[in-house]
Structure 1
Amino acid sequence: MRWALSICRTPGSPKPEADAARAAGSGGYDLSLFARPPDSNFLCSVCHGVLKRPVRLPCHHIFCKKCILRWLARQKTCPCCRKEVKRKKMVHVNKLRRTIGRLEVKCKNAEAGCLVTCPLAHRKGHQDSCPFELMACPNEGCTEQVPRGVLTEHRQQCLHGIQQRCPLGCGATLGPAERARHNCYRQLREAWGQRQEHSRTLVLCLLQRLRKLHRTTNLIHRQLAQLGDFLEDDTLLMSTRQEEAEATPENSIEAEVWGGQSQSGV
């Protein structure tokens, strides 16, 4: 393979700088991911993992992009040949990247029981549908993580399940625990009984007020009748007095005349 001479091989014990780079975190793929041991030409000489986003330096040595950037942040030389390196001179080796992408890898959930292997480039796609992938329960308040394959069952039994309206149409909003003991017919009967009692109380109160209003109205009618009788009697009395007052002058004149005549005759 034509990359064999381009990938650095460090004879003897690793350089201290390489050990420091590996300690800072691997930039390549872990060898345990692959279904079969990958070719040594695909290994990064800095992290000793399979090349991830490989880049080639002007000296033709190839490294993981992350590994070489970390290296160059401390010193500006190639980890293998010690030639001076300028960052802008790095070149992405896309053909090598595609070749590595076709290597067969195990599912990241292999230890959990997934037996699927797929090309490295398709690993993310499989992970998005793997039934062994741990998923967070979507119910608010639940912190459990369960395999995707049993997530539906877990959601049905989860005590923090999403609240739903009663399927019988009573209008109540219930969580899983409440749905298990919900009896909307009994609750509706109780609610109806409470409403009937409340309505009965309101009707009785209204009747009491109507009786009181009726008694008050009758009292007003009687008082008005008495007032009318009083006014009528008073009118008659005033009329009688007026008549007497009008009749009194004539009687006085007649009395005077008769009185004078009597005196003359004597």
Structure 2
Amino acid sequence: MKWRLLSPGFSGAAVQTQIMSGGYDLNLFTSPPDCNFLCSVCHGVLKTPVRLPCSHIFCKKCILRWLSRQKTCPCCRKEVRRRKIVHVNKLQKIIGRLEVKCRNAEAGCQVTCPLAHRKGHQDSCPFELMVCPNEGCTLRVPRGALAEHRQNCQHGAHQRCSLGCGATLGPAERANHNCYQELREAWCQHQQRSRSLVLCLLRHMRKMHRTTGLIRRQLAEFLEEDDPLLAGAPQEGAEATPEGSVGAEVWGPQGQATL
């Protein structure tokens, strides 16, 4: 099946004055793609192809840019309504099977894969440039050399723990740093100290309680011996103190009144 992309009377001069990059670069492919896979607006391989009512096919991004300025087809100049645009999924799957080079081919990557799998390879390509994770370093190095760069990076002398404990670590310390384990050990030590303090406090409380009880008993014995009335023992002949009086008479052990 072929799709109608170009018309004999189409002149792309007006389009070429506006550089559009909606499609895939031709240099990305291992072999030149079929002309039926090219967008007549950006002249790249169709990316997310869509078909107009007139059967011409373009990259979705390209045709939407075009229609934002003109309401006609770039090829045949027929009027176009956006709601009449449809996706060409079958063509997109065919283009997805075209063999492409890694975008890091110039850097030395020799891997080729279908266009649909290109992103998966890119996420693991050893030639993909990565930003150095060391704080303050702005260099971009290939993924395969990132580990070696981090060891020798001048900005990697001291860094904050990536796990969030707040510690500032050097290269040698980072290799053995495990803040979760260290925090757990510190927590256990804190728990042991807290338990020891609680036990010590309980011992002091018991001692204080025994001392208080002893003092209370001694005081009660002293009051009973020294003043039976204050100790609560009734005594014959004792007169009640009138309510509201300034002083109160208390009978001592020899039967003398005191104020």
Q: Please give the TM-score of this superposition, normalised by the length of structure 1.
A: 0.59
Query: Which of 83, 90, 94 matches 1:88?
Result: 83
Distance of 1:60 and 1:20 partners within structure 2: 24
Q: 1:7 maps to which residue?
A: 5
1:119 is matched by which residue type in structure 2? P
Distance of 1:60 and 1:19 partners within structure 2: 22
Where structure 2 has 5 or more consecutive residues not aligned to the other structure, the ranges are 161-166, 175-259
Task: Determine if the alignment matches structure 1 residue 79 to structure 2 residue 77.
Answer: no
Query: Which of 8, 19, 32 matches 2:16?
Result: 19
Percent identical among aligned pairs is 76
Distance of 1:75 and 1:37 partners within structure 2: 31
Query: Which of 99, 108, 114 matches 1:119?
Result: 114
- Compute the displacement of 1:160 (Å): 1.4
What CA RMSD, in Å, does the superposition of the two structures yield over aligned residues? Answer: 2.3
1:29 is matched by which residue type in structure 2? Y
Task: Determine if the alignment matches structure 1 residue 70 to structure 2 residue 88.
Answer: no
- Compute the displacement of 1:26 (Å): 1.3
- Compute the displacement of 1:45 (Å): 0.7
Distance of 1:101 and 1:154 partners within structure 2: 36
Q: 2:179 maps to which residue?
A: none
- Compute the displacement of 1:159 (Å): 1.6
Say if 2:10 and 2:75, in contact at 8 Å, map to a contact too: no
Q: Which structure 2 residues correspond to residues 118-137 of structure 1 after superposition, within 5 A?
A: 118-137=113-132
SS of residue in 2 equivalent to 1:55: strand
Distance of 2:145 and 2:23 partners within structure 1: 33
1:38-66 CA-partner distances (Å, limit 9, x unpaired): 00110001111000000000011000001
Q: Which structure 2 residues correspond to residues 96-115 of structure 1 after superposition, within 5 A?
A: 96-115=91-110
Distance of 2:104 and 2:33 partners within structure 1: 20
Say if 1:136 and 1:146, in contact at 8 Å, map to a contact too: yes
Say if 1:28 and 1:47, in contact at 8 Å, map to a contact too: yes
Distance of 1:87 and 1:164 partners within structure 2: 54
Say if 1:139 and 1:162, in contact at 8 Å, map to a contact too: no
Distance of 2:75 and 2:159 partners within structure 1: 64
Q: 1:155 maps to which residue?
A: 150
- CA 1:12–1:91: 2 relative to 1, 3 Å: closer
Q: 1:40 maps to which residue?
A: 35
SS of residue in 1 equivalent to 2:30: coil
Say if 1:56 and 1:90, in contact at 8 Å, map to a contact too: yes
1:4-55 CA-partner distances (Å, limit 9, x unpaired): xx21245575231x1244x2x2110000000000001100011110000000
Q: 1:206 maps to which residue?
A: none
- CA 1:68–1:12: 2 relative to 1, 3 Å: closer
Distance of 2:89 and 2:77 partners within structure 1: 24
Distance of 1:108 and 1:9 partners within structure 2: 33
Distance of 1:157 and 1:94 partners within structure 2: 49
- CA 1:85–1:142: 2 relative to 1, 3 Å: same
- Compute the displacement of 1:157 (Å): 1.1
SS of residue in 1 equivalent to 2:154: coil
SS of residue in 1 equivalent to 2:156: coil
1:47-104 CA-partner distances (Å, limit 9, x unpaired): 1100000000001100000110111111100011111000111000011001000000
Say if 1:34 and 1:103, in contact at 8 Å, map to a contact too: yes
Distance of 2:98 and 2:173 partners within structure 1: 51
- Compute the displacement of 1:163 (Å): 3.7
- CA 1:93–1:79: 2 relative to 1, 3 Å: same
Distance of 2:124 and 2:7 partners within structure 1: 39
User: How many residue pairs get matched?
Assistant: 168
Where structure 1 has 5 or more consecutive residues not aligned to the other structure, the ranges are 166-171, 180-266
